[in-house]
Homo-oligomer: A and B are copies of this chain.
Amino acid sequence: MKIGELAKRSGLSAHTIRYYERIGLLPYADRDGSSQRDYDAAILTWIAFLRRLKATGMPIREMLLYAELRSRGAATEPERRVLLEQHRNRVGEHIADLQANLLVLDAKISGYAGAEKGTDHNDTGAPNDGRQPAGKRAARTR
């Protein structure tokens, strides 16, 4: 399979695949006669796993570490397990955090809720926090 095909099947762009290979996240791919990358379908499993790590917020640095351990064979499995466990715990905390914030957001939305036309009957966190007009807006968010 060539890079375009892999791009389609993996959901990464060809650009990104080359980039991942460059930094070592993907193994250096075999090249065919005209030095074009030729992939085995097995790589899809690894990419899918990388995507999962990424989706859960693992920085590339850590993925690289994992990839390197993996390339060093079965002896590194305990280390890999530790890495994944730490990551899992961080993700768990992050989820808890999001859920807590979501609750507050929901409370605030409820504050706006009945107010189809600005009734603004508030009690606790009130949608209208902070106040004070925002004053001069300063252009450049960059």
Identical chains in the assembly: 2
Chain B residues closer than 8 Å to A46, beta-carbon distance? 129-132
Chain B residues closer than 8 Å to A113, beta-carbon distance? 81
Interface residues of A in 108-142 (CB under 8 A from B): 108-109, 112-113, 115-118, 120, 127-138, 140-141
- Residue ranges of A at the interface with B (Cβ–Cβ < 8 Å): 21-24, 26-28, 40, 42-43, 45-49, 52, 55-56, 60-61, 64, 67-68, 70-71, 74-75, 77-78, 80-81, 84-85, 87-88, 91-92, 94-95, 97-99, 101-102, 104-106, 108-109, 112-113, 115-118, 120, 127-138, 140-141
CB distance from A136 to the nearest CB of B (A): 5
Which of B24, B88, B112 touches A80 (beta carbons < 8 Å)? Answer: B112
Chain B residues closer than 8 Å to A106, beta-carbon distance? 88
B52-A104 in contact (CB<8A): yes
B28-A136 in contact (CB<8A): yes
